[in-house]
Structure 1
């Protein structure tokens, strides 16, 4: 891991506008289900959101569940509501679609505009079916989420942009917003702010995109942008890990937020105190994860003010003797700062060597393993609803099911890819074991994410 340097970007005003809270905060015991296509199915944004809650609200035990299926349109999602979505008993259901609904290659044909209009009308009609079902969920909060954009402006080698596709997607977002207003549902849009980031960075780098090299599937950095935009709409701007100030000469606590400072000892040249933060810093993964992925979650810090707005663990120590100071936490050397820097404040959440960051990092790794297991269930859902449902074999999980798969694998690449996973997941005992492993991981996360009292020591060099 590396120390995270906070970057100041001229784009911040785009995603750091006036405080708002269009989405409710997740409360203890909530089950949040994200319903979508492949961007949700194989993506990390929902996992990154849950990781925020795991570290920022250690006593708020929630469950975030993936209900994405690759290739889905809103009509496909409608068809699996009962078997794959409502069966998860969501207290909050986040609904996003539009990428597959809006179509693809015909945009660059002779009748691209007419094609786009036809796809828009088809999507609207199919959405009305979905809307009718969602209106009946009196005990479930509904969030309409305008999906991440198709990036038609990036210059990408061997990938000709589809003209007008994202404009149709934005029209789909518009009727999602209208539906949310009419039904008193919550709403946020990912398309517009992500498009703004792309266009701003493309001014200097025409090949830049946070939507992936296929213009469709964001890499880890794009998914972190999505998570940030979601958390921002929950009103979490300014929500600190901890924020405190200690006066060295008086050995007193000037102020403290979301933490306790006690047992202050020493003087202006050597100071120690106990520090109990009620939250953990958010750990940022520096490894690009996924097939052919180039960018990591941490790379998103260049585009969004997440560190400034949502990941501050601020230590301020005033009235120290002038000079440099080494900081130790639980005996581990963290770094060296001047008395002026400590007086102005240091963001410990950017220091990956702290014991509290390492504690958070273990949670990140456990959550990543949980995500990988959950992906097996999503691949299982793909074959159930994308192949078996139309053949009358939904959840049959018998010899006839596997034979039906094997009969078609030669002509269906995606079926070949999912075949081995299905051969395991078709057995109830295997699914139960996988679920038990996920439950164990979640239980362990909510065991090790609890606050730990640390000892901070400052020694003058």
Structure 2
């Protein structure tokens, strides 16, 4: 093999390994993480899925995360709400993404799209530098820049396309990457990997998009892709829920990674043992959640089938058997498997009927309840920073502000929030919602501790 071929091989191996390498430090116990962004963050789930992963995979490392997205925000609006909406939450870690609104919309189909794109890029940079000054003044807060999800300008599902908008977003993401490097901040890119998913899927189905039914807002499946990319950047790929291997014939534990196996018995062919994993499965939601979202979170497995192997692997193997066996956990029938299947191994996290999966599913539902309450605060923040702030009435919340709000309902976005504002104008109501969220998080960290399970393999004919 010549030197050029050797170099090419080494480069390929380096790039493959680089995909797996940790780019961003994992969150740690006690962290307070704010996800700052626009409507993709505001109405989306990626941050909630990331927290759910930590709730289930690191159940003893209690932490706190917050949605700090506001619909329609550019870097300017993010700058304007840093103090009251972000820093007030006392983050130890702050993630920042922008670009979808900064890049503009309709003018790409106008007379001077290149000039427009250049102006939008310059404006985004201008206000980002003001944000950067504020962030650099907080050396105690760890910064993570996120390259935004793309605008899909290639799918054929309709003709409503802003031509080359995604090119400008790519330039903003490249700028974000360089700005992060210049400040020794961490960086996670959603844009390039999601573009690649669109490109590959559209070869088969030209109408496919991972970017939602408006080309802008990823649906629940897209948000799991985003969470996956973030967690992978944190080095989570390959961290198993547990890895169990038992030799039933010898009544011996061969492997017990991130778990404890004890009391292995084999009596008249009935194999039993106690199993305590140190993590729980990540439950995949099959219900579309969120305003105008249509897809399930679990649908993401079509485009990231490696998720289960990399992020949600509860490996289970029993050797030294012959014939067929019914697997029971805490006396709940899970599956009937051959000795060959058991020896090869299965992923218990792929079974929704295990007691540990059901335990995790309760955590998922509580986290969704928390997310729904938190969403009301995001709409409230939109009103405060995109309506009242412009009128010099930020957080005024009195009868004068209410009159101004009622007078401003010729704006459809303002009018749509009338029912919400009638409640959230009252501090007592806001305080109650905060207490509800705190109680939910407290309850999650009470019930997310893995339990010792009784595993039984019962011979069947």
Q: TM-score range by the shorter chain?
A: over 0.9
Alignment of 1:43-442 (within 5 A): 43-157=44-158, 159-267=159-267, 269-304=269-304, 305-321=306-322, 323-409=323-409, 411-442=410-441
Aligned partners of 2:98, 2:157: CA distance in 1, in Å? 24
Conservation of the 8 A alpha-carbon contact between 1:248 and 1:319: yes
CA deviation after TM superposition for structure 1 residue 290, in Å? 2.3
Aligned partners of 1:211, 1:141: CA distance in 2, in Å? 29
Q: Deviations over 1:329-366 (max 9, x none)?
A: 00100011110010011100000000000000000000
Aligned partners of 1:186, 1:425: CA distance in 2, in Å? 36
* Residue 443 of structure 1: aligned partner: 442
Aligned partners of 2:408, 2:68: CA distance in 1, in Å? 25
* Residue 8 of structure 1: aligned partner: none
Q: Deviations over 1:12-53 (max 9, x none)?
A: xx9996321111111111000000000000100000000000
* Residue 6 of structure 1: aligned partner: none
Aligned partners of 2:386, 2:194: CA distance in 1, in Å? 29
Q: Secondary structure at the match of 2:19?
A: coil
Q: Secondary structure at the match of 1:316?
A: strand
CA deviation after TM superposition for structure 1 residue 292, in Å? 3.1
CA deviation after TM superposition for structure 1 residue 245, in Å? 0.5
Aligned partners of 2:224, 2:268: CA distance in 1, in Å? 41
* Residue 5 of structure 2: aligned partner: none
Query: TM-score when scaled to structure 2?
Result: 0.95
- 5+ unaligned residues in a row in structure 2: which ranges? 1-14
* Residue 5 of structure 1: aligned partner: none
CA deviation after TM superposition for structure 1 residue 454, in Å? 0.3
Conservation of the 8 A alpha-carbon contact between 1:251 and 1:267: no
For these two proteins, the number of residue pairs brought into alignment is 445
Conservation of the 8 A alpha-carbon contact between 2:44 and 2:290: no
Aligned partners of 2:268, 2:149: CA distance in 1, in Å? 52
Conservation of the 8 A alpha-carbon contact between 1:245 and 1:316: yes
Conservation of the 8 A alpha-carbon contact between 2:238 and 2:310: yes
Aligned partners of 1:351, 1:371: CA distance in 2, in Å? 25
Taking a change above 3 Å as real, the CA distance of residues 145 and 15 of structure 1, as seen in their structure-2 partners, is: farther
CA deviation after TM superposition for structure 1 residue 163, in Å? 1.1
Conservation of the 8 A alpha-carbon contact between 2:316 and 2:345: yes
Conservation of the 8 A alpha-carbon contact between 1:15 and 1:193: no
Aligned partners of 2:205, 2:402: CA distance in 1, in Å? 48
Say whether 1:36 aligns with 2:52. Answer: no
Aligned partners of 2:248, 2:25: CA distance in 1, in Å? 40
Q: Deviations over 1:126-146 (max 9, x none)?
A: 111111111111100000100
Taking a change above 3 Å as real, the CA distance of residues 438 and 16 of structure 1, as seen in their structure-2 partners, is: farther
Conservation of the 8 A alpha-carbon contact between 2:43 and 2:291: no
Q: Deviations over 1:253-297 (max 9, x none)?
A: 011100000011125731000000010000000111123322110
Aligned partners of 1:239, 1:58: CA distance in 2, in Å? 14
Aligned partners of 2:435, 2:345: CA distance in 1, in Å? 44
RMSD, aligned α-carbons: 1.2
Q: Deviations over 1:75-118 (max 9, x none)?
A: 10001111111001010000000000000010011111111111
* Residue 458 of structure 1: aligned partner: 457
Q: Deviations over 1:223-262 (max 9, x none)?
A: 0000000000000110000001100111010111000000
Aligned partners of 1:162, 1:42: CA distance in 2, in Å? 22
